[in-house]
A and B are shown apart, each in its own frame.
Chain A
């Protein structure tokens, strides 16, 4: 499976004796060794790999070789092979990376960093060769590799051979002199090299003119020269061959391969064609496929005869055909004996199954259109894929099967539904689930024995979990809950993935309904199952959700514990922390801010940022900005707070969690707090919140925001019933975080209505929740009206000490940021006029001139303006006025 590494891919081809010495290219490769990257880019058959392998043979550097194939076009697999290749170069390289990439949850960023670390710590030259890099076209692998190249230590070099230029920043590397390129024009044989090759390596005896003609006809293309040489071996009259070659306008490979094949004895020819279906050849496999013996001797014969056979290991146990030659052979096979293909693939598939390489067995079954066999092979492998999370490969196989085969087998239909959902494709998922369920209930299909007993037990729970997930994604709350509950009741004890997934989904659904205690219990149970199954990074990410629910319950201390647990889990083991550690710091910052430890809150934000964007979960970009916006509000930097909210909205990412505090509502609160009621009213209209709406958990934050707006607009009569209903619901249902928030608004409403005793009562109720957990900013972020309430509560309330503590915290800050005072005492028309001129470049006398007043009068105006705005300089006054939209 995906954990299975082919050692032959890590083997540099051994150069044959008597190969043509190519000093000019050796020099260039040597130059490459002192730059970062060497790119050997040319069509097939130009001797790219041979050149690099030959050159490496003369080097003292540690060498890591990796031959890539189409299956490596997957980041986890690609880096797993890179780590394995590095380990062959030096035992200290790639060990941590290999560990980080282990299933079930490969950590690619972590692996890349530990590779870079290992390379930096190695005290000798090391060369990593990525052979056939054109097999890789995934953009993310290219980006990851570009990142590595940028950070390569001086003693590490990357060599790539490829048929197509890779998607790396080549122009930048060129400009910095970090790239050495060897291309087709460099690789093609010169006449002298062609002479040495044809007469030396291939043992011909050609004159200079014949060599010149061949070189011109093939344009120095080595594959064609090799075919030509094979065609001429043992021929009495090479000149006539060359003449007829020159007179033919066929594609040179066609012409020459026909010649070469026509000259092979029948047994060799048959062997070549039949084994052309194999990507790798070894004697017993070839025996199985050809149905005869003697393959070892045959392979040795081909090897000696230079028939495009490349050894893949030192013992010459495994070989492969040169790609171009293999294509030619397959073409001949298809044209001459197409009916033999299914049997050949079947025999190859059987051999690989016996040898324990299920992936290859499946590949050959699919290539031979033996879909029943392919399905039989895929089914038992599904559980492994669940563990390794290699949904991409699984999906590719399942999609290669005819629809009817997948639908007839509940295991396959279930696996495809799961793989599709994992990769974000919803189309057809519901249908596949229904098909699988129906197939499980009905009699087993005639074509196969049906799922094993243990699968019959496992599948219903897994299907129910998939249904719950599908319902969650499509926003169907009742069905999410129903299916998740069903999954939990039928899933086997040890089916950690189904149980974990179902319990987490149930937790999220209950959170959305406002059943916070049950939500926490279910979600925590889901995390415990996933942890038991080894899904560590899911558990790290889950801590954010657990903490969110804790905060909603008004349990800040427990939220901190969840973040700490997430951090501990993330840094467990060697290497950089798992993805999600940054989110924990952002969460911690939020709690510290609430507790009015603004310095600590800043520190955690910085710590989260220091881990890098890549360490954050997809929702971290917006959550970190939201957290910082609130921190800026607490610090009094309103402009930055608004900017950050805009930013947060831009990078918003919706996941499975309910959106309890929508960013537009957060912005509306900031607007209300600073008297900008018109845009806040626009928010309320857009968000379609009304004072007579039913109270629901997911909208309570918006409703409390609306109550604040109504209060600020002086519509106390509308605000009071709404806020009373909110307070009752929040207290009744244990939404403690929301209750504190609503009680504060209730206190302000009562204060505004002159009911100071009632206001103090609301404050006391809020303190009862807030005091044990150290809530502070929720009070302090209110305006000066709160100072009065706190004063009252500290004298007449039931928790005077807490009120007094908060009051002291408001004191100096209230004096320093008199934002709200500016709102209570508005500027006169004349003062606004002065303010507008203060924004210009004019100096004092010029402004006085403009207003036709004396400098003294102007000073009086500015003093009044500064006082009302609570500032002490012209610049601050302008800034403040802009914040308040006064200009």
Chain B
């Protein structure tokens, strides 16, 4: 994997993993993002294009739902974003 370097003034993709399977009903809440339900009972939220301010706003929304946050990882730009919100990419 190449080394993604998020920058303060730039945008970058992020993968945010939370505990629990989030219903697709919340997709408007996570507009423009892809929800991937993993087999281990977590949800991977793929955000293709966030700047730092949007990332913090997004984390506040995760907080406001009481979703336990597991990880926030910058995505490598070469990694494809799956079009479907169902199923595991693996």
Contacts and interface: CB of A to CB of B under 8 A. Distances in A.
Contacts of A332: 25
Q: Which of B18, B20, B65 has the most CB of A within 10 A?
A: B65
Contact of B21 (A249, A258, A323): A249
B53 to A, nearest CB: 11
Given A43-B63, A323-B64, A327-B64, A250 B25 contact: no
Given A45-B66, A253-B65, A164 B60 contact: yes
Contact of A334 (B28, B65, B66): B28
Nearest to B40: A249
A629 B18 CA distance: 60
Nearest to B37: A249
Contact of A331 (B20, B26, B67): B26
Given A250-B21, A252-B20, A43 B26 contact: no
Contacts of B25: 254, 331-332, 334-335
B66 A250 contact: no
Contacts of B67: 251
Interface in B25-75: 25-26, 28-29, 41, 43, 60, 63-67
B23 interface: yes
Contacts of B29: 327, 331
Given A249-B41, A331-B28, A324 B22 contact: no
Contacts of B20: 249-252, 254
Nearest to A331: B25
Contact residues of B: prevailing secondary structure? mixed
A332 B19 CA distance: 21
A327 B65 contact: yes
Nearest to B67: A251
B41 A253 contact: no
A249 B40 CA distance: 9
Interface in A214-242: 221, 223
A676 interface: no
A163 B63 CA distance: 8
A623 to B, nearest CB: 35
A44 interface: yes
Contacts of B64: 44, 163, 323-324, 327
B64 to A, nearest CB: 6
Interface in A313-333: 323-324, 327, 331-332
B3 to A, nearest CB: 30
Contacts of A45: 66
Contacts of B18: 251
B37 to A, nearest CB: 9
Q: Which of A44, A223, A251, A254 has the most CB of B within 10 A?
A: A251
Nearest to B29: A331
A134 B64 CA distance: 10
Contacts of A164: 60, 63
B44 to A, nearest CB: 13
Nearest to A324: B66
A86 B18 CA distance: 40
B28 A253 contact: no
Contacts of A324: 64-66
Contacts of B26: 254, 331
A696 to B, nearest CB: 41
Interface in A332-357: 332, 334-335
Given A43-B63, A44-B64, A250 B28 contact: no
24 contacts: A43-B66, A44-B64, A44-B66, A164-B63, A221-B66, A223-B66, A249-B21, A250-B20, A250-B23, A251-B19, A251-B21, A251-B22, A251-B65, A254-B21, A254-B22, A254-B23, A254-B26, A324-B64, A324-B66, A327-B64, A331-B23, A331-B29, A335-B25, A335-B28
Interface of A: 43-45, 134, 163-164, 221, 223, 249-254, 258, 323-324, 327, 331-332, 334-335
A-B CB proximity, top 8 nearest = A251-B20, A249-B41, A335-B25, A254-B23, A43-B66, A250-B21, A251-B22, A331-B25
